[in-house]
């Protein structure tokens, strides 16, 4: 138990540059308090003291603003940064070194008593306000951008943004790093990319229009000269015809 507490504290140092001391982390990080209260609630839950588990979880929600169902399965070094408004459902499963930011929901989409919440594998990062809804898997090392709504499986090392969430980037298999990669803010912008493509097409069309306009101007300049040459060539013939008459 104390080893887990120690791991939880030092995992905050790895993921929050604002952390200054173990004492500050132990007393001033509600995300950490929520995880510790969850571990107590889960201890009751797995031993079928369901009421005590739910009541302990309810106390944790009241104290931290974070709701973690005691039936959820959570691995080592789980970190909730800031944390207010985080909701984790009963059948959610979370691997090691996972990071959630405030306002994240790991929710279900059915009332049936089955697996209905997502599974987050190791080293996943979920940005603030994101909603992960349904009994699918978010693969190892995946990142979900802030305020995204994800309703289907996310591949390993993929980056997902948007409503509904779309994979906008996927890297090769990563070597396990000593520290988690939290750069979930450096995400490609699919809307900006689409607008950029439209601008490229507009520039291409403008270039073609300019070329066609130049050719048309040249033809208009050449046409009077051709008509004048034709008239000059036709005049002697007309004279010869009149003389023969």
Does the pLDDT at position 203 exceed 70? yes
- Tell me the C-alpha distance between 184 and 146, whole Å: 8
Pairing of strands 125-126, 143-144: parallel
Tell me the pLDDT tens digit for each residue of 30-73.
Answer: 999 999 999 999 999 999 999 999 999 999 999 999 999 999 99
The fraction of the chain above a pLDDT of 70, given in percent, is 82
pLDDT band with cut points at 50, 70 and 90 for residue 175: very low
Provide the CATH number for the domain formed by 2-186 in this structure.
Answer: 2.160.10.10
pLDDT of residue 21: 87
Domain borders along the chain are 2-186, 189-245
Q: What is the mean pLDDT of residues 206-225?
A: 81
Q: What is the pTM of this model?
A: 0.69
More reliable by pLDDT, 218 or 43: 43
For residues 149 and 1, what is the distance between their CA atoms, to the nearest angstrom? 35
**Contact in structure between 53 and 45 (CB atoms under 8 Å):** yes
């Amino acid at each position: 138990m104390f080893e887990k507490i120690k791991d939880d504290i030092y995992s905050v140092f790895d993921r929050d540059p604002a952390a200054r001391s173990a004492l500050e982390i132990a007393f001033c990080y509600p995300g950490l308090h929520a995880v510790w209260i969850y571990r107590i609630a889960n201890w009751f839950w797995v031993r079928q003291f369901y009421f005590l588990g739910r009541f302990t979880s309810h106390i944790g929600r009241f104290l931290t603003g974070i709701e973690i169902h005691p039936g959820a399965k959570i691995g080592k070094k789980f970190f909730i940064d800031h944390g207010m408004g985080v909701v984790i459902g009963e059948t959610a499963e979370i691997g090691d070194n996972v990071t959630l930011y405030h306002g994240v929901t790991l929710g279900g989409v059915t009332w049936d008593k089955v697996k209905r919440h997502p599974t987050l594998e190791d080293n996943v990062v979920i940005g603030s306000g994101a909603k992960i809804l349904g009994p699918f898997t978010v693969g190892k090392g995946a990142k979900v951008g802030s305020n995204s709504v994800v309703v289907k499986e996310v591949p390993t090392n993929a980056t997902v943004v948007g409503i509904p969430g779309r994979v906008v980037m996927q890297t090769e298999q990563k070597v396990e790093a000593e520290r988690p990669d939290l750069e979930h803010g450096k995400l490609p912008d699919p809307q900006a990319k689409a607008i950029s493509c439209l601008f490229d097409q507009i520039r291409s069309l403008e270039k073609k229009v300019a070329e066609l306009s130049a050719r048309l101007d040249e033809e208009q300049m050449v046409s009077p000269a051709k008509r004048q040459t034709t008239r000059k060539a036709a005049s002697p013939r007309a004279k010869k015809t009149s003389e023969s008459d």
